[in-house]
Each structure stands twice: as structure tokens, then as C-alpha cells.
Amino acid sequence: MSEQLLWAPQAWLNGHWEHNVCLAVDTQGHWADITPNVPTPPTHATVLPGPVLPGLVNAHSHAFQRAFAGLAERRESAADDFWSWRDRMYGVALRITPAQLRAVAAQLYVELLQGGYTQVCEFHYLHHQPDGQPYADEATMAWAVADAAADAGLGLTMLPVLYERAGFAQPTLRPDQRRFAGTPDVIARLQTTVQTSGRPRVNAGVAIHSLRAASADSIDALLAQVGDADMPIHIHVAEQMQEVRDCLAATGQRPIAWLGQRWPMDARWQLVHATHTEQAEIDTVARSGAGIVICPSTEGNLGDGFADLPAWLAAGVPMAVGSDSHVNRQWAEELRWLEYGQRLRLQQRNVAAAPTQQPATAARLFDAALHAGGPAAGQRVWGLTRGARADALVLDVQTPGLLGVPATHRLDALVFATNTSALSEVYVAGHKLVHAGRHVEQDRIARAFESTMQALWEI
């Protein structure tokens, strides 16, 4: 691509709105320079139609579960919880083909772009054929996801998942988990294969499904292969109280306490959910430099519980957000429900605000997700800053919720007063992928998704 210059009436820089901002994009699709207070657009600049925000990283995704969103909202037995939802979700995992996964993920990634995410961390454990046998190319399902990201134009961090057993006391996988099997060697190979593929806007780390789903010896083996390599390491931890109880029974410690004692976490580690914690565990994570990834819409949908947001924020732990099972695909709603959950739990308002530092709740949550998201995705530089990939979100200030709102409060209104997508344009690496709220490939990708859903559900 050639160099280009964008000009915005407002842009979110360093935690606040700046006015009349020029944004220069280099030939590699990165920000070459960002200059506020340029009152008149240069003659060769593209004038953006509204204020600009940086794109966020969606730090936790299971793309195939987009095919299940909205289809588990009925209860036909005495009880329903995370574990019964999981059993029903496996039905999709056991059927979906590589071509269907590509179609589902492409639709999801279009929706994520429209919802303000420009990079996704794909927690990928669908490795094998439906009968549990490996594909001839063991990266077949990973390539389906990467192809979908290319279809949509979204940046992708692939996280192949170590998943080898059904629980602390169950040394093997259940039959309905057969597609998930992955040894440390396989996971390390998948990471290397994707990382060295040369695909644009694709990088890779590794993931451990959970302490219950991988033995200590296998975690040791995977981490030995990772060594000191600069890559993200993700793990589900302390999402459900049953997991906490099972970990206590198996190890004598709660999950985060055992994780912190058994393995030397550092800034590469991302603890997904981290819902059920004690203060000592939060302090352990803070000392390690690790981050957390909270997924409020999924945690609410599954009845997981409330993370201790005030304690995590007070400890200074990096906090990214993800949409996980994709019942919601907009970061503004994730931030809204992250705060609303705490308001309901504590019967207070503006829980996440810091009156002496950042009194705006939306700004504090947004900046937390912005600054934590880059490292969670293995991106050394992220946001509206020189050297970062040239990703940008352009707000439509005529959207209900933003209409008439003072310029200083637009981020507040976006998170807490807007119930539809408020983005008119979305750029990734300097390329405009969303125009007037529509993705450039929206119709084609939607048709493939609809056909796939009809096949999956025999409509």
C-alpha cells in the first residue's frame, strides 16, 4: 500500500480526546506519525467523518461457538449451569467441518470488526476430525480460522490449546471431547507452523485449556518448549466454583494459588476469567506481571459469577476483555456489563472510576482493555501511537446515544447510553473494512454463514 494521511476532528490519545488530529500511515500499514492540533486538514488527507478511537483486542474467542449463540437459552431439566451448557455446546464441536468453521468464523470476525475489535485471540482447541483422528495436515482447523480472519481482514493471534483430560480425577478425555486432544509437542508445532506461515496480520502463542484439563507434567513439557520465547500464554482459570472445589480436592490449593506456586508466571501469561479469587491470589498475579482477560457477557450468560473488579484494578493487574462464546460481539457492551455487574453486586455506581486519577468509568475501563489487549495478543505496540498497526474506529455521532452528546462525554455515552453499533468506519492496517457501518464483504460472508447454519442445524 502507499502512504496515506487521515485527519480526524477528534481522536482518543493518551487517555483523553485531542482535537484536529492528523494520522499518517506508512507503506507497511503502521502509524508513522500522529499529530494533534492541526486545525485545517492537509489538501491530500482523507477527512474522517467522525471522532476516532483505537481498535481493541478481543483477547478471548472460541470462534466455532458463534454457531451456538442464542441456541442454549431454554431449560428443559431441573437445573441448568455452565456444565450442562458445555455438554450441549459439544454437539457443535463434534460436527463442524473446516469449511463450516471458516464460514462461521468469517461471519463472527465481520461482526467483531463492526463491534470495534480489530484483533482477536483465538483460543483454539478444535484440532482433529470428528472421529478424533488427526487431519493429514494437523493445522487444518487452524488454517480454517486463519482463512476466515483473512476473509474479514481482522488481525489474528492463534492460540493452539493443550487439552488432554476431562478433569483432575479423569486422566483421559471424554468421547465427546475427542476433537480437542493435543500433546505438548503438537501444540508447540502448531504454534511454530502458524507463527512462521508469513500470513499478514497473523501471529501465534500457546494456551493451556485449564488446570483441570492438562496435567502438571504436560504443562511443564509445553512450557519447556516455549522457553523464554516472546509469545502470549493463555489459560482458563477459576471460572467456576466447581473448578475451585475440584482443584482444592486434587492439589490442596485454589486454582490461581496453585498456578502461581507451581509455575513462574510473567507478563506473557493471561489468566482468562479469573472469576473466583481471594486477595492473596490477586496479589500473586500482580507480583508476577501477568494479566487477566474478563469476558462479562459470556460469564453472565453462563452464570459464572462476578470477578472482583475493584481488587484487580487496585492491584494494577492488566485487564483485557474478550467475547468468548460470542453471545455479544461489541466491546462497548462488554465494558458496560463489566461495570453493571459490579454495580449490582455492590449496590454502588461508577465502581471502576478512580476519582483522583480517572473519574470517567468508561475511560478507565476502555484504557485498561486497550493497554492490556496488545500484550495479550503478542502485539508489542498497540493503539493510536507511532509504530502500532494503523487500526482505527470512526464514530458516527448521529447514532442514537451519541446524538447531541458533548464531545467530552462521547466515550461515556458510547459505553453507557448506546444500544446499537456506533461505528461508521473501521480501519485495519490502514485499510477501510467497514464503511457506513457495513463490512465490505458483508453480504458474501453472511450468505456462507447462513448456508452453514442451515446445514449444522438441519433447518
Using the predicted structure, report yes or no on whether residue 17 has a pLDDT greater than 50: yes
What is the structure's pLDDT at 115? 98
pTM for the full model? Answer: 0.97
- The identity of residue 224, as a single letter, is A
- What is the total count of domains within the chain? 2
Is 201 within the bounds of a domain? yes
Q: What is the mean predicted confidence (pLDDT) over 8-20?
A: 97
Contacts of 175 by beta carbon, 8 Å cutoff, 6+ apart: none
What is the structure's pLDDT at 459? 47
Q: Annotated catalytic residue: which of 324, 367, 391, 396?
A: 324
Per-residue pLDDT reduced to its tens digit, 224-259: 999 999 999 999 999 999 999 999 999 999 999 999
What is the structure's pLDDT at 150? 98
Is 241 within the bounds of a domain? yes
Using the predicted structure, report yes or no on whether residue 180 has a pLDDT greater than 60: yes
Supply the CATH number for residue 36's domain.
2.30.40.10
What is the structure's pLDDT at 458? 82
Per-residue pLDDT reduced to its tens digit, 371-406: 999 999 999 999 999 999 999 999 999 999 999 999
Distance from the first to the final alpha carbon of the chain: 43
- The identity of residue 218, as a single letter, is S
What is the structure's pLDDT at 84? 84
- Core vs surface per residue 360-373: b (16+ CB within 10 A) or e: bbbbbbbbbbbbbb
Per-residue pLDDT reduced to its tens digit, 89-130: 888 899 999 999 999 999 999 999 999 999 999 999 999 999
113 in the same domain as 21: no
Supply the CATH number for residue 307's domain.
3.20.20.140
Using the predicted structure, report yes or no on whether residue 77 has a pLDDT greater than 90: no
Q: What is the mean predicted confidence (pLDDT) over 136-154?
A: 98
Is 60 a catalytic site residue?
Answer: no
Reported as a pLDDT band with limits 50, 70 and 90, residue 78 is confident
101 in the same domain as 132: yes
For the chain, the residue count is 459
Using the predicted structure, report yes or no on whether residue 133 has a pLDDT greater than 90: yes
265 in the same domain as 398: no
Question: In this structure, what are the phi and psi dihedrals at residue 24, rounded to the nearest 5 degrees?
Answer: -95, 130
223 in the same domain as 183: yes
Reported as a pLDDT band with limits 50, 70 and 90, residue 142 is very high
Contacts of 282 by beta carbon, 8 Å cutoff, 6+ apart: 308, 311, 312, 315, 317
93 in the same domain as 225: yes
Domain housing 43: 4-54+386-439
Q: Annotated catalytic residue: which of 127, 128, 273, 276?
A: 273
Reported as a pLDDT band with limits 50, 70 and 90, residue 85 is confident
429 in the same domain as 285: no
Using the predicted structure, report yes or no on whether residue 294 has a pLDDT greater than 60: yes
What is the structure's pLDDT at 220? 98
Reported as a pLDDT band with limits 50, 70 and 90, residue 88 is confident
173 in the same domain as 118: yes
391 in the same domain as 322: no
Is 324 a catalytic site residue?
Answer: yes
Q: What is the mean predicted confidence (pLDDT) over 208-217?
A: 97
138 in the same domain as 279: yes
What is the structure's pLDDT at 79? 80
64 in the same domain as 25: no
98 in the same domain as 37: no
Q: Grid coordinates in use for 363?
A: 475511560
Element (H, E) at 208: strand 206-208
Per-residue pLDDT reduced to its tens digit, 308-366: 999 999 999 999 999 999 999 999 999 999 999 999 999 999 999 999 999 999 999 99
What is the structure's pLDDT at 73? 84
Q: What is the mean pLDDT of the chain?
A: 96
394 in the same domain as 296: no
